[in-house]
Amino acid sequence: MLIFQGGQMNGASPDQMQAHMGKWIAWIEKLSKTDQYVAGEPLLPGGKLVTGTGGKTVTDGPYTEGKEVVGGFFIIKATDLNEAVTISKECPDFDLGSSVQVRQVMKM
- For 37-82, the pLDDT digits (tens) are 999 999 988 888 898 999 989 988 766 665 678 889 999 999 999 9
pTM of the model: 0.85
Residue 101: its H or E element = strand 99-102
pLDDT of residue 63: 66
- Radius of gyration for the alpha carbons in the chain, expressed in angstroms and rounded: 16
Amino acid identity of residue 43, one-letter, is L
pLDDT at residue number 65: 60
CB-based contact 1:38 (threshold 8 Å): no
Beta partners for residue 22, in sequence order? none
* Contact criterion met (CB below 8 Å) for 88 and 100: yes
Which distant-in-sequence residues (6+ apart) come within 8 Å of 105 by Cβ? 1, 75
